[in-house]
């Protein structure tokens, strides 16, 4: 390491790498891949880390599109988590290309000072955040064992320090009835589509008893084959969200009864397949404080307030969402701040946000995000109280 301080060394390395990191972001953005199909994105991330001197493993944890790169042998292991899956139809409308480049950049920048600070730097490519729970599967496979802090940033319309990450679960719902000629013999059929309509109506009436942080939303993916055939089969994909995992359990039971009502009323047989629960997020207090100071040093400002202070709800444009990073935070000290890309009025999961994720503002966010994350890791490594707590957590 040079005579410059570790943060300056990291800045110099990342400023040199910025254009290449923009290239990585734009490649991923231009080639959207759905969860567990991110072969090109995972390959580009792995190649990038390999060229930066990291020891790279591909296909880790039994997942073809999961990647791990490691650098340094220090006792404190800091992980930067990469996401790169896209959404159907709208592509990178959640800006995972920015996440990928920021986390790769943070890892490469921190590697320049890893040995001097007694760090092991780990960059983990996690597939299928958009509903596939890739991080949960990687934890179950032991890929995150030995990590002392897990860091990432997520793009949004504006910078937020403490986004409200809701617990969530997806349900696949299907009804099986009996087909019949809708004009000649409708009484001989059991209408599976009607069962779904009754369930949707019940969910609509349920909303009066839901909390402001509860969410129930979904789509009907199969509703019948032709208007003159009583539908024998209907399917839907639904999501339930709540402020905590415990509250999610309560809401799920209410929603299940709504789907059961559809089956009871029509006589159709109901099946519900439950997917992995996404946990709410536990924001590590020390890492959050370090990140805030570092981001503000880079000229960022936050629309949400520090812990305990009032929040201007009208200024928040990505207040509540869900991510499998919440599951990580239950096990490993973690942060998941939002980094602004000046997309307003466009918000995540809109086509306009897809376009915003490859603009100059998004490119600037790559450098700021990488620096703020790497500097946060440096602060954690050099603050003896925090370092001791993380090493022993």
Say if 248 falls within a structural domain.
yes
* 159 and 19 fall within a common domain: yes
Say if 68 falls within a structural domain.
yes
Q: Distance between CA atoms of 177 and 231, rounded to whole angstroms?
A: 7
Over pLDDT 90: what percentage of the chain? 93
Whether the pLDDT of residue 3 is over 70: the answer is: no
Domain endpoint, select from 274, 298, 322? 274
* 123 and 239 fall within a common domain: no
Report the C-alpha dihedral over residues 193, 196, 201, 207, rounded to 10 degrees: -160
Domain endpoint, select from 228, 253, 274? 274
* 16 and 121 fall within a common domain: yes
Q: What is the average pLDDT across 155-182?
A: 96
* 304 and 160 fall within a common domain: yes
pLDDT at 314: 40
* 319 and 252 fall within a common domain: no
Q: Distance between CA atoms of 128 and 281, rounded to whole angstroms?
A: 18
In the chain, alpha helices (H)? 6-30, 39-51, 96-111, 114-117, 134-140, 192-206, 245-266, 285-297, 325-329, 351-356, 360-382, 384-391
Q: Distance between CA atoms of 363 and 8, rounded to whole angstroms?
A: 20
Q: Domain count for the chain, please give it.
A: 2
* 289 and 207 fall within a common domain: no
What is the tens place of the pLDDT at every residue in 50-105? Answer: 999 999 999 999 999 999 999 999 999 999 999 999 999 999 999 999 999 999 99
Say if 123 falls within a structural domain.
yes
Domain endpoint, select from 213, 246, 274? 274
What is the tens place of the pLDDT at every residue in 272-300? Answer: 999 999 999 999 999 999 999 999 999 99
Pairwise pLDDT comparison (211 vs 315), residue with the higher score: 211
Q: What is the average pLDDT across 214-220?
A: 96
Whether the pLDDT of residue 1 is over 80: the answer is: no
Q: Distance between CA atoms of 297 and 340, rounded to whole angstroms?
A: 15
Mind giving me the DSSP string for 249-306?
HHHHHHHHHHHHHHHHHH--EEEEEE-PPBPPP-B-HHHHHHHHHHHHHTT---SSPP
Close Cβ partners of 208 (under 8 Å, ≥ 6 residues apart): none
Mean pLDDT, all residues of the chain: 94
The least confident of 108-112, 317-321, 365-369 is 317-321
Say if 96 falls within a structural domain.
yes
Say if 383 falls within a structural domain.
yes
Mind giving me the DSSP string for 333-358?
-EE--EEE---TT--TTSHHHHHHTT
CA distances for 99 relative to 145, 184, 212, 275, 317, angstroms: 22, 57, 29, 25, 18
Say if 286 falls within a structural domain.
yes
* 161 and 288 fall within a common domain: yes
What is the tens place of the pLDDT at every residue in 303-331? Answer: 765 554 444 444 444 568 999 999 999 99
pLDDT at 393: 81
Say if 1 falls within a structural domain.
no
**Residue in 131, 130, 149, 147 with CA at minimum distance from that of residue 139:** 147
Match 């400023």 to its residue by tokens.
Answer: 15
* 288 and 369 fall within a common domain: yes
* 29 and 142 fall within a common domain: yes
Q: List the CATH number of the domain containing 245.
A: 3.30.70.360
Give the pTM.
0.91
Residue 15, classed as helix, strand or coil, is: helix
pLDDT at 318: 55
pLDDT at 306: 53
pLDDT at 13: 97
Range of the domain at 248: 167-274
* 212 and 197 fall within a common domain: yes
* 156 and 196 fall within a common domain: no
Q: What is the average pLDDT across 197-226?
A: 95
User: Which is it for strands 233-242 and 215-222: parallel, antiparallel or unpaired?
Assistant: antiparallel
* 88 and 127 fall within a common domain: yes
């Amino acid at each position: 390491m040079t005579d410059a301080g570790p943060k300056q060394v990291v800045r110099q390395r990342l400023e040199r790498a910025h254009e290449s990191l923009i290239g990585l972001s734009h490649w991923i953005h231009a080639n959207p891949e759905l969860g567990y199909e991110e072969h090109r994105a995972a390959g580009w991330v792995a190649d990038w880390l390999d060229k930066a001197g990291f020891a790279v493993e591909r296909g880790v944890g039994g997942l073809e599109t999961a990647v791990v790169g490691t650098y340094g042998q220090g006792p404190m292991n800091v992980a930067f988590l990469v996401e790169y899956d896209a959404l159907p139809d709208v592509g990178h409308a959640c800006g995972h290309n920015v996440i990928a480049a920021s986390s790769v950049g943070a890892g490469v920048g921190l590697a320049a000072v890893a040995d001097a600070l007694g760090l092991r730097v780990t960059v983990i490519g996690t597939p299928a955040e958009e509903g596939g729970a890739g991080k949960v599967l990687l934890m179950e496979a032991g890929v995150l064992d030995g990590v002392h802090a897990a860091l990432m940033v997520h793009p949004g319309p504006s910078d937020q320090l403490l986004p409200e990450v809701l617990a969530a679960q997806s349900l696949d719902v299907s009804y099986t009835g009996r087909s019949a000629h809708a004009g000649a013999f409708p009484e001989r059929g059991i209408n599976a589509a009607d069962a779904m309509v009754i369930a949707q109506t019940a969910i609509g009436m349920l909303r009066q008893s839901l909390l402001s942080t509860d969410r129930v939303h979904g789509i009907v993916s199969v509703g019948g084959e032709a208007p003159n055939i009583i539908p024998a089969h209907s399917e839907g994909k639904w999501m339930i969200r709540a402020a905590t995992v415990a509250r999610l359990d309560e809401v799920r039971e209410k929603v299940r009864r709504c789907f059961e009502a559809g089956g009871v009323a029509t006589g159709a047989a109901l099946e519900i397949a439950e997917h992995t629960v996404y946990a709410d997020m536990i924001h590590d207090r020390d890492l959050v404080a370090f990140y805030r100071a570092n981001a503000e040093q880079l000229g960022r400002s936050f629309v949400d307030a520090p812990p305990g202070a009032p929040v201007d709800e009208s200024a928040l444009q990505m207040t509540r969402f869900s991510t499998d990073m919440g599951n990580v935070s239950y096990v490993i000290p973690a942060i998941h701040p939002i980094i602004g890309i000046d997309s307003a009025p466009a918000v995540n999961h809109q086509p306009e946000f897809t376009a915003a994720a490859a603009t100059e503002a998004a490119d600037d966010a790559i450098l700021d995000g990488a620096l703020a994350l790497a500097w946060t890791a440096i602060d954690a490594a050099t603050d003896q109280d925090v370092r001791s707590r993380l090493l022993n957590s």
